[in-house]
């Protein structure tokens, strides 16, 4: 089955394809030659995922799914949340985003946080939403070279490593995106 995955992010594409059954082939926005920025102006993480799917369904006649992820930090009243990708500005720099977050938490001992991923799927003009959550904490400094986004400063509950210190396989067992994807995969299996 070919399905459009609304992303330009090659790291994310690789991570998601590794979790998919072998018969599901992901088509990225780059594969489609789509260079346009897809709007992400909703007020919620789920709303952004839905907005991306609707944007693509207007243009392509095949199954499509889109995700949006936010990092929610308790001590910052839920920041960066829906603004996670552009927390430090519209240039979407992961380094700047992490630096700003660490700076805001400098004197704060409450480092509790969670990643939330929402995946919207449009299959045969039927839309469904899946969610995954990973609880954890923000480290005091960046550690690790793997992953992307906030991975170097997020330590999932029950671990002493950041996501950026884990292999793709280790992260794939516990991450917010993996949890939401497992729900999506189960749904696709039932729909076949």
Please give the positions annotated as active site. 68
Burial 130-146 (b: 16+ CB within 10 A, else e): bebebebbbbeebbbeb
Q: Six-digit token pair at 66?
A: 């889109």
Residue 12 CA to residue 7 CA, distance in Å, equals: 8
- Going through 6-62 in order, the beta strands assigned E by DSSP cover 25-27
- Going through the chain in order, the beta strands assigned E by DSSP cover 2-5, 25-27, 64-73, 80-81, 112-123, 126-138, 154-156
Indicate the SS3 state at residue 109.
Answer: coil
């Amino acid at each position: 089955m070919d399905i459009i995955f609304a992303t330009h992010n090659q790291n994310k594409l690789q991570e998601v394809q590794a979790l998919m059954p072998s018969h599901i082939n992901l088509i990225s926005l780059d594969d489609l030659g789509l260079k346009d920025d897809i709007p992400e102006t909703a007020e919620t993480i789920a709303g952004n995922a839905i907005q991306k799917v609707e944007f693509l369904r207007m243009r392509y006649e095949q199954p499509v799914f889109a995700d949006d992820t936010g990092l929610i930090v308790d001590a910052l009243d839920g920041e960066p949340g829906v603004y996670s990708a552009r927390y430090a500005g519209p240039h979407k720099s992961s380094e700047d985003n992490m630096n700003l977050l660490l700076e805001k938490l400098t004197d704060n001992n409450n480092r509790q946080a969670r990643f939330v991923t929402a995946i919207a799927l449009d299959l045969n003009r039927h839309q469904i939403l899946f969610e995954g959550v990973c609880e954890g904490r923000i480290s005091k400094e960046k550690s690790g070279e793997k992953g992307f986004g906030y991975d170097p400063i997020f330590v999932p509950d029950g671990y002493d490593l950041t996501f950026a210190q884990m292999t793709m396989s280790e992260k794939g067992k516990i991450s917010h995106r993996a949890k939401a994807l497992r729900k999506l995969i189960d749904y696709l299996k039932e729909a076949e």
